[in-house]
Structure 1
């Protein structure tokens, strides 16, 4: 059992290194961001209004506010690539339906991110086809 766990761990690490992703890696650890815009259901860029945030830790976890609810997930990042697990979120109801809709879309889109770019105080997430899906501004 211990040997199987060790072999699985070594294979996982090798896979992450081979794909250029490291747990909690890249230039994202210990940074926090506020959502500026996102890709709407209709394919148009929407200016964010609900106050979504995302904060990256060095241990491969992230957390933030999606508008009404807090969420957390795991991530791997490096060399411009990112993978974010399905977030776990609280389930409070917000009276403003537009905030709930933005929150739903935000939590969906972070799981669709395949790449990212960091240019000063702007963080952009991209889908696998290179389309921009989320834009963030650095929080100080």
Structure 2
């Protein structure tokens, strides 16, 4: 059976992707189970279809024309009413904004220049809504209104428990409050770092914000249990990075692997480990059980104590506690 398209990486969900199809510009916004294609002045909702590779979506324009979009990494193909466009290439977003107003000549001496706000996304369900904020503006869209409303004049206020954004447009205003408490997407269960409340033109919406990887990366983690069995001796450790890597101490050896977040879960690749012999059978078994459990992980969660739960479906295969120790540098 031809597989269905894989879900997009979490960092891609809700983020507009611009493509150049030999001079024809299109924009695609990926969501967990669909995509929105902006093309020729229209926004078309697309659903996933089976594909041998990459992620393929199809949908009908308002006039009944079928649109087929097939993304394969940094390239894509676009077919509209049976007409194939030349290969589309992803246009990378410029990074110049990250260095604006940072030279001594441009930075006021009376007060430090505010840090540039990288793109921040928040979303909710029932009804679906999406917020995307950068350094200067906020884009607001819903399932029934995918052509985003743009709010400008953005201001940001930092609080001890999170931050707030406010922005305006003619005849309206948007206010976003992000509280730094773990929020689980109501459809996928994916943990996000912030619980978000958005007020738009007198209406209030609740949902989750931030990148799920930020739930994992700020801490190192010390394994407390594997399959419900408490650790003995020197426990394994884990640390995750924003570039999709995981590493730590397995019990006898150092280990490293890929750690890929999708729209619905977490996959940890086959771990590579050093080849030092374990000093006793207990440590050897504990390391073997840990590495095997990593390979079973399909998602993660955070419990009420702040412990990390790595799960295979609904089963917790690894429980870990936060630690200040660098998981990549085990004690000697």
> Could you tell me the TM-score, scaled by structure 1's length?
0.75
Q: 1:113 aligns with which of 273, 297, 310?
A: 297
Q: Is the 8 A contact 1:112 1:127 kept in 2?
A: yes
Bigger drift between 85-94 and 71-80 goes to 71-80
Q: 1:28 aligns with which of 191, 205, 216?
A: 216
Which segments of 5 or more consecutive residues in structure 2 lack a partner in the other structure? 1-70, 76-187, 191-211, 325-332
Higher-Rg member (1/2): 2
Q: How does 1:9-20 map to 2 (within 5 A)?
A: 9-10=73-74
Measure, in 1, the Cα distance between the counterparts of 2:282 and 2:298.
26
Q: 1:95 aligns with which of 258, 279, 282?
A: 279
Give, in angstroms, the shift of residue 80 of structure 1. Answer: 6.2
Residue 126 of structure 1 pairs with residue 311 of structure 2: yes
Give, in angstroms, the shift of residue 137 of structure 1. Answer: 0.3
Measure, in 1, the Cα distance between the counterparts of 2:249 and 2:321.
14
Residue 51 of structure 1 pairs with residue 235 of structure 2: yes
2:163 counterpart residue number: none
Give, in angstroms, the shift of residue 25 of structure 1. Answer: 2.8
Q: 1:137 aligns with which of 311, 315, 321?
A: 321
2:266 counterpart residue number: 82
Measure, in 2, the Cα distance between the counterparts of 1:9 and 1:78.
15
> Could you tell me the TM-score, scaled by structure 2's length?
0.33
Cα 1:92–1:38 change in 2 (3 A) is same
Measure, in 1, the Cα distance between the counterparts of 2:307 and 2:262.
17
Q: Is the 8 A contact 1:25 1:76 kept in 2?
A: no
1:40-99 residue CA offsets vs partner (Å, 9 max, x unmatched):
xxxxx2101231000001110011000110000011126662100000000110111100
Which segments of 5 or more consecutive residues in structure 1 lack a partner in the other structure? 1-6, 12-18, 40-44
Measure, in 1, the Cα distance between the counterparts of 2:247 and 2:229.
22
What is the alpha-carbon root mean square deviation over aligned residues?
2.4
Which structure dedicates a bigger proportion of its chain to strand? Answer: 2
Measure, in 2, the Cα distance between the counterparts of 1:10 and 1:26.
25
Give the count of matched residue pairs: 119
User: Which of 1 and 2 has higher RCO (CA within 8 Å, sep 6+)?
Assistant: 1
Measure, in 2, the Cα distance between the counterparts of 1:116 and 1:51.
20
Residue 38 of structure 1 pairs with residue 221 of structure 2: no
2:250 counterpart residue number: 66
